[in-house]
Structures are given as C-alpha cells and as structure tokens.
Amino acid sequence: MRPIAIAILFFLQAAPSYPPAYPRPGATKMLENDRVVVWNIAWLKQQYPTHRHIYALAGVYYEPGDRMITSLEGTKRPVKTAAGDIAFQRAGVTHIEEGTNDRPLRAVFFEFKEAEPTGRMDAAATPPSFPRAGEKQLLDNDRVTVWEHTAGAPAVPHRHARDAVVVWIDGPTPHAAFAAQGTVHSDEGVGQARAWIFELK
C-alpha cells in the first residue's frame, strides 16, 4: 500500500495548479456574501492566463462582443455573444480566454460558493414570486432559475421563496443586489430598467 500512496501523492503534487478565473484585469467585484460573489466583467482585448473556474457560475451579458476560448489541448473556439444572453457554467472548467473586440464583451456573472444546491425555500411564499406580468423564464436547472423582467413592467408585491441575485442595467451601468429568501417588497429596486432575477436553488 505504501508505494501506491506515494504514487498518488506524487501525482497530486505533479498536477498543474491554475489560478481562479477572478479577480483579473477587467473584472470588478460588485458584491459578496456567504452564497455568491458577483462580478462585473469586461473581456479586454488581451489573452488571459490559463485559469480554472473553481465555482459554478451564472449571469447575463449586457454588451455584445467576441472572444476566443482555448482548451487545455490547444483547440481554439471563437465565440460571438449577444447582449441579453444568459450564461451558466459548471465548476471545474479550465481554459484560456481572449477578448477580441476593441469594444469589449461585458457581463455580470456570479459564482456559487456552495458546491451543491441547498434546497432552501420559503414555504410561506405563496403564490409563487415569479412569473409576474412582464416577466418570462429564460433558464431553469438544478442550480438556478432565471427570469427576465421587461423594462417598464408594473411593480407587484411579492415574497421571495428563494435567495436571489438581481441584475439590472441603468444606461451603460450594471447594478446587482441580493434579495434574501423571505424578502417582501413590491419591486426589485430596479425602477423602469430591464432586469434579470436569478433564483438560487
């Protein structure tokens, strides 16, 4: 057993260690709590070092742009992204990213600090918080449900059944807030802006 243990230890020590995706040039932390870290990200016209996404992430792109993604094997994949596209990615992705636009692609992403869904839900939140008038579901999986709130949609009183990250764009400026499970209010504090609500599971 001893030779096997030594071999495993050698393998672990020899395995490459990559830095996390954030922070990095062009990425600014917007908020952080015990569940999420929220980043305002620009893919600047440069190649970023190889990095590993140690957390699952979700978010929304608010300015369009292009980038080149290179795998560990060296395969290059050009990616074109539109404003309003939703992102979701599992933990463990390792790659190189390079912004290729003079006007960079921009997004608000948040990282899930927890490795698995918590399942926490406020049973008192009836009827369900979403959807409301002027809202539609964009994504639903085991980690998050994403709703788009149309600009100018009416405010409706509601109670949040789950913790939620709220992202909205006011002119060129992105904003983010955290609505804790059980929060009761009429709107998300976004005014007449277009917004995205990410319910955490």
3-state secondary structure labels for all residues of 23-70: CCCCEEEEEECCCEEEEEEECCCCECCCEECCCCEEEEEEECEEEEEE
- Examine the domain organization and report whether 96 and 151 are in the same domain: no
The answer to whether residue 51 sits within a structural domain is: yes
- Examine the domain organization and report whether 105 and 147 are in the same domain: no
- Examine the domain organization and report whether 81 and 164 are in the same domain: no
Q: Where among 80, 112, 144 does a domain terminate?
A: 112
The answer to whether residue 57 sits within a structural domain is: yes
- Examine the domain organization and report whether 104 and 46 are in the same domain: yes
Q: Where among 81, 112, 143 does a domain terminate?
A: 112
Q: Judge whether 76 and 47 are in contact, CB under 8 Å.
A: no
**pLDDT exceeds cutoff 60 at 133:** yes
**Residue-level pLDDT at 152:** 79
- Examine the domain organization and report whether 151 and 192 are in the same domain: yes
Residue 127 or 179, more confident: 179
Give me the chain's average pLDDT, please: 90
Which pair of tokens denotes residue 177? 């807030």
**Can you tell me the mean pLDDT for 81-86?**
98
- Model confidence band, residue 123 (pLDDT cutoffs 50, 70, 90): confident
Q: pLDDT tens for residues 34-60?
A: 999 999 999 999 999 999 999 999 999
Which pair of tokens denotes residue 95? 């790659």
Instruction: Find, among 158, 146, 138, 52, the residue nearest to 95 by Cα.
Output: 52
Q: How many domains does the chain have?
A: 2
The answer to whether residue 86 sits within a structural domain is: yes
**Can you tell me the mean pLDDT for 186-193?**
77
CATH number at residue 84: 2.60.120.10
Residue 155 or 40, more confident: 40
Residue 125 or 153, more confident: 153
- Model confidence band, residue 7 (pLDDT cutoffs 50, 70, 90): low
Continuous segment of H or E residues that includes residue 13? helix 2-14
Residue 109 or 131, more confident: 109
Q: Does the predicted TM-score (pTM) go above 0.95? A: no
Would you say how long the chain is, in residues? 201
- Examine the domain organization and report whether 140 and 80 are in the same domain: no
**Residue-level pLDDT at 12:** 45
Q: What is the DSSP letter of 3?
A: H
Nearest-Å Rg of the Cα atoms of the chain is 19
Give how far Cα 3 sits from Cα of 7, 14, 45, 87, Å. 6, 16, 48, 44
**Residue-level pLDDT at 1:** 47
Question: What is the percent of the chain where pLDDT is above 70?
Answer: 91
- Examine the domain organization and report whether 108 and 142 are in the same domain: no
**Can you tell me the mean pLDDT for 162-169?**
95
Q: Where among 112, 127, 151 does a domain terminate?
A: 112
| Domain of residue 190, residue span | 135-200
Single-letter code of the amino acid located at 141: N
The answer to whether residue 72 sits within a structural domain is: yes
- Examine the domain organization and report whether 70 and 39 are in the same domain: yes
